[in-house]
Amino acid sequence: MKKSILILVLMGTIFTSCKTAQQKENAAKNNIAEAKQDLADTKANNAAEWKSYKASAQIKIADNKKQIGVLKDKMNQPGNTFDGMYRNRIEKLEAKNMDLEKKLIGYDGNATQWETFKGNFNRDMDEIGNNIKDLFN
């Protein structure tokens, strides 16, 4: 009795889950259309996020340039003595900041590498900011 009920349930499941070829084709077309729309939405969101991120990063780079300029002015004032190591650190910070600016300008907004780029860029930007703060102290 239990076996016959199990067989009936399985047979019913098989027959009700079968779709016609036309139904499968329509479902596939709908899936493709949804996937294309999702891709278009993702590209639009990434473009907007990239534009916003780039503007924010450019502001930070400009601020770093300004602070590096203040450090250079401070270093070149008469009566202040700074060792070669201090001068070297400022020059390295300036070079790193210029490299970040070049990376930002050169980045094409590639969606597949976006998260990696953003993570590395943020880390480098934070490092420069922290080093500048250390020199002011």
Instruction: Of 14-23, 32-41, 98-107, 112-121, give the lowest mean pLDDT range.
Output: 14-23
Closest residue by Cα to residue 42 from 96, 112, 106: 112
Q: Give one DSSP letter per residue of 47-99, joined into a string.
A: HHHHHHHHHHHHHHHHHHHHHHHHHHHHHHSTT----HHHHHHHHHHHHHHHH
Instruction: Of 34-38, 48-52, 130-134, give the lowest mean pLDDT range.
Output: 34-38
- Other beta carbons less than 10 A from residue 112's beta carbon: 6
Integer Cα distance of 101 and 14 in angstroms = 61
